[in-house]
Amino acid sequence: MTEEFQLLAQPWWVNLLVLIPIGGFWWWRTPGLRLPAWQLGLLTIWAAAFGFVEAAVVVYLRALVGGLLGYEPTFSGIARLSVDVANKPLVVLPRDVLLLETSREAATMIMLLTLALLVARAWKERSACFLWAFAVWDLCYYLGLRLTIRWPSSFTTPDILFLIPEPWIAQVWFPTLVSTLTLLAVLRSRLPDASLPSAS
């Protein structure tokens, strides 16, 4: 079965996320973000590791759900389940598991936000750090899934992005585009290290 390109995410307001990197760039460009390269480097390492942890959690969750549905608890079995899940609007999880998954998503956002508050002092830099870490985490999450269970199979694979306050459904190209634009917006808005005050 071939996947068809789908332009709009659901619900409709999820599509507005593409405005975040554009708005961020507009806000950050003057006088520019005071984020040294070492700081972005450490944020990238943390967010990439966290993205892989999130991917592993999803693999475990799919392995458990797949076991209940008769799929083998192997990477190939989980990949088959992932393909079947992508072709349905939402997997029906037990209420307790769905509540736990929603709580995990909220905890993820709290961790990313707390990291940004710890790393930067000014609100412009804090917002940029949060969005940078979120973008790296998101891209490494998909990369982690791709490297382990070979999913998503393409950028047109549908996915459930979040469950709060209701399921956000889009093809993988959409969050990948928003995250990539966010990274570019931060990089374009950043002052060169030579113009930043020294840490001494």
What does the pLDDT look like over 73-91, one tens digit per residue? Answer: 777 777 777 666 555 544 5
HSE (side-chain half, CA atoms, 13 Å) at 89: 4
Q: How confident is the model at residue 1 (pLDDT cuts 50, 70, 90)?
A: very low
Alpha helices in the chain (DSSP H): 19-28, 37-69, 75-86, 95-119, 123-149, 173-189
* Dist. CA 172–CA 142, nearest whole Å: 8
Residue with tokens 């990197």: 21
Does the predicted TM-score (pTM) go above 0.85?
Answer: yes
pLDDT at residue number 55: 94
* Dist. CA 169–CA 167, nearest whole Å: 6
Q: How many residues appear in the chain? A: 200
